[in-house]
Amino acid sequence: MASLSPSLHLPCNSRTGFLGKTQGIRPRVIPAGRVGFVRTVVECKESRIGKKPIEVPSNVTLTLEEQFVKAKGPLGELSLSYPGEVKVVKEESGKLRLFKTAETKRANQMHGLFRTLTDNIIVGVSKGFDKKLQLVGVGYRAAVEGNDLVMNLGFSHPVRMAIPEGLKVKVEENTRIIVSGYDKSAIGQFAATIKKWRPPEPYKGKGIRYADEVVRRKEGKAGKKK
């Protein structure tokens, strides 16, 4: 097979010096004028989520003050502050729209994020959200006592958790927990705290899982083959 470059063949008796200096080899120097640089321009496309308008129900009152929005509805009141990369505008039709104030990668990220957060506070104060959890395991059960959620999860003592203000917790058939309220982030945080006590294990599936969660199961160790 022919060699790619004849300069790559080294004599057997060549000596290599310090810092790559090799006797009998002359490195090829490329003139500085022949080195080229390619400049690429990154175009930030508009977020598909961020450019969607937000419907405002008739039972929700909005207050806009520059980079601050407050939503008040039948279930409660929530507010949101916006970064400098995003501007919120209320149209004559009553819908809300978010626009970017800069063409940067961060502005594109904030555009879609704060459009979703704005929609969450409007839906939250008008309709509300809920999160469902399922207890799987022998003897696992839950109950609401006053303002506390009490769960038996196989420990030597029951787990007692105070229900945060603004949230409601309901238990069905001793094994289904429903967390509801108007603040979606608070619901998700409290549900994650509940699940943290007993995450589902992959062999028998015991633990606390979300109602729509799929737990990937593992096969147990096989017995000794004879």
Tens of pLDDT, residue by residue over 100-123, are: 988 888 988 899 999 999 999 999
- Residue 145 belongs to domain spanning: 129-210
Whether residue 154 lies inside any domain: the answer is yes
Question: Does the pLDDT of residue 14 top 50, yes or no?
Answer: no
The total number of residues shown for the chain amounts to 226
Question: Does the pLDDT of residue 5 top 50, yes or no?
Answer: no
Closest CA to 114 of 51, 43, 65: 51
Do 185 and 164 share a domain, yes or no? yes
Non-local (6+) Cβ contacts of 211 within 8 A are 132, 133, 134, 176
Average pLDDT over residues 71-93: 91
Whether residue 38 lies inside any domain: the answer is no
Whether residue 45 lies inside any domain: the answer is no
How many CB atoms lie under 10 A from the CB of residue 156?
A: 4
Structurally, the chain folds into a number of domains equal to 2
Confidence of residue 12 (pLDDT cuts 50, 70, 90): very low
Do 90 and 139 share a domain, yes or no? no
Final residue in a domain of this structure, among 111, 127, 143: 127
Do 181 and 203 share a domain, yes or no? yes
| Distance separating alpha carbons of residues 4 and 27, to the nearest angstrom | 16
Whether residue 29 lies inside any domain: the answer is no
Q: What share of the chain is helix, strand, coil (3-state, %, to 5)?
A: 20, 30, 50
Confidence of residue 1 (pLDDT cuts 50, 70, 90): very low
Tens of pLDDT, residue by residue over 204-221, are: 889 999 998 888 888 877
Sign of the alpha-carbon torsion through 102, 107, 110, 116: positive
| Distance separating alpha carbons of residues 179 and 187, to the nearest angstrom | 6
Question: Does the pLDDT of residue 10 top 50, yes or no?
Answer: no
Do 122 and 161 share a domain, yes or no? no
Confidence of residue 131 (pLDDT cuts 50, 70, 90): very high
Confidence of residue 92 (pLDDT cuts 50, 70, 90): confident
Task: Decide: 169 and 181 in contact? Cβ < 8 Å.
Answer: no
Closest CA to 63 of 85, 81, 83: 81
Q: Return the structure tokens found at 87.
A: 């501007």
Task: Show the beta-strand stretches assigned E in the chain.
Answer: 61-65, 68-72, 77-81, 86-90, 96-100, 129-136, 141-145, 148-152, 159-162, 167-172, 176-181, 207-210
Question: Which CATH number goes with the domain that contains 137?
Answer: 3.90.930.12
